[in-house]
Amino acid sequence: MSTHSYLVTGGAGYIGSVVAARLLAAGHAVTVLDDLSTGHRAAVPDGARFIEGRVQDAGEWLDSSYEAVLHFAAHSQVGQSVADPEPYWRNNVGGTADLLAAMRDAGIRTLVFSSTAATYGEPATVPITEDAPTAPTNPYGATKLAVDHMISGECAAHGLAAVSLRYFNVAGAHGPHGERHDPETHLIPLVLQVALGERAAVSVYGDDYPTPDGTCVRDYIHVADLAEAHLLALTAARDGEHLICNLGNGNGFSVHEVIETARKVTGHPIPHITAPRRPGDPATLVASAARARETLGWHPTRPDLADIVADAWEFARRTATP
């Protein structure tokens, strides 16, 4: 097996740390770049070299010893991006422009980028394919879409080989790596905090959506399956091409179905209260992952929601504050 050296930006975060761990397990050398603004130093996998710093400054030390860059570092909270958009443009878009320039100067020709279902906005039809219209409903999605456009230009003009992976709802845990946002806004970790007794009830944001039970439907994907797609993307990337692939399981679950699954997995009652809709939430987001399967040869191994919740539950119990 040929081994390479990879730069993982945001490798102290939830998804970046899992991908870094998988690259190390495959025998590669990994450097994690993270400014620890939202990441955790302890999440950087053993065996990775760690640089505490910003992507904006990567040009100061980046060199041709890296085979590729996997770029996770970003601001990623939808609500925060609505309340205070400017840092999202400065960091997500400006930071990636600096990173692309640094890669060009260093002669690094391959990029895998964390894009998102939020680039599509409210979909006209589901499941969502990659040629669906892109009309983000919040600044977070707009900045990620802007970066996707920027990457396409870099591929066309300078021959970069790039893959953007558009994540749907990532959940679950992989070994010691799980979801720890502060504040936590994501449904599955919040539901599990209720199961742990750390929170009295979970709020269900709206029960009058045009869905079977009135609550929002999402496509949940296990973080380990998501990570695997990044390793496949590294070999699928072609000079001068920008491949965009959705990553989801193609199955939609409502908020009530997620809570019910968590009740079964944890054995706890998990009370909920119905709350107003959260601004910017589309009713239904479900991926067509046909392209990822066909182009990357991606085969998810833990597509069942109960398995995803069970792994998140194990992580939540292990890391619970006593």
Ligand X SMILES: O=c1ccn([C@@H]2O[C@H](COP(=O)(O)OP(=O)(O)O[C@H]3O[C@H](CO)[C@H](O)[C@H](O)[C@H]3O)[C@@H](O)[C@H]2O)c(=O)[nH]1
Residue nearest to ligand X (CB): 216
Q: Which of 96, 116, 246, 261 binds ligand X (CB under 6 A)?
A: 116
> Which CB, 117 or 234, lies closer to ligand X?
117
Tokens 């045009």 belong to residue: 210
- CA dist., res. 24 & res. 34, Å (int): 17
The residues with which 30 forms a beta bridge, in sequence order, are: 6
Kindly tell me the burial class for residue 258, based on how many C-beta atoms sit within 10 Å of its own C-beta (0-12, 13-18, 19 or more).
Answer: buried
Cα(254)–Cα(236) distance, rounded to whole angstroms?
Answer: 33
Q: Which residues of 122-151 are buried (b: 16+ CB within 10 A; e: fewer)?
A: ebeebbbebebebebbbbbbbbbbbbbeeb
Q: Count Cα neighbours of 24 within 13 Å in the Cβ-side half-sphere.
A: 17
3-state class (DSSP) for residue 56: helix
CB of 220 to ligand X, least distance (A): 9
- Work out whether 186 is an interface residue with ligand X (CB under 6 A): yes
- Report the 10 Å Cβ neighbour count for 120: 25
Kindly identify the residues of this chain, within the stretch 245-284, that bind ligand X according to CB under 6 A.
255, 278, 281
> Phi and psi (nearest 5°) for 254?
-80, 165
**Binds ligand X by CB under 6 A, chosen from 32, 100, 126, 202:** 202
CB of 278 to ligand X, least distance (A): 5
For residue 9, list its beta bridge partners.
33, 71
| Residue of 6, 88, 140, 209 with catalytic role | 140
Which residue of 51, 118, 265, 308 would you call a contact of ligand X, by CB under 6 A? Answer: 118
The reply to whether 216 sits near ligand X by the rule CB under 6 A is yes
Tokens, residue 271: 């009370």
How many residues sit in the footprint of ligand X (CB under 6 A)? 19
Segment interacting with ligand X, rule: CB under 6 A, options 39-47, 97-105, 115-123, 242-250: 115-123
140 classed as catalytic: yes
Among 80, 185, 193, 211, binds ligand X (CB under 6 A): 185
* Residue 152 in contact with ligand X, rule: CB under 6 A: no
Restricted to residues 27-66, the positions that interact with ligand X (CB under 6 A) are none
Which residue in this structure is represented by tokens 């392209």? Answer: 291
Give the nearer residue to ligand X in terms of CB position, either 30 or 202: 202
Which stretches of the chain bind ligand X, using CB under 6 A? 76, 78, 116-118, 169, 185-187, 190, 202-205, 216, 218, 255, 278, 281
Q: Annotated catalytic sites, by residue?
A: 140
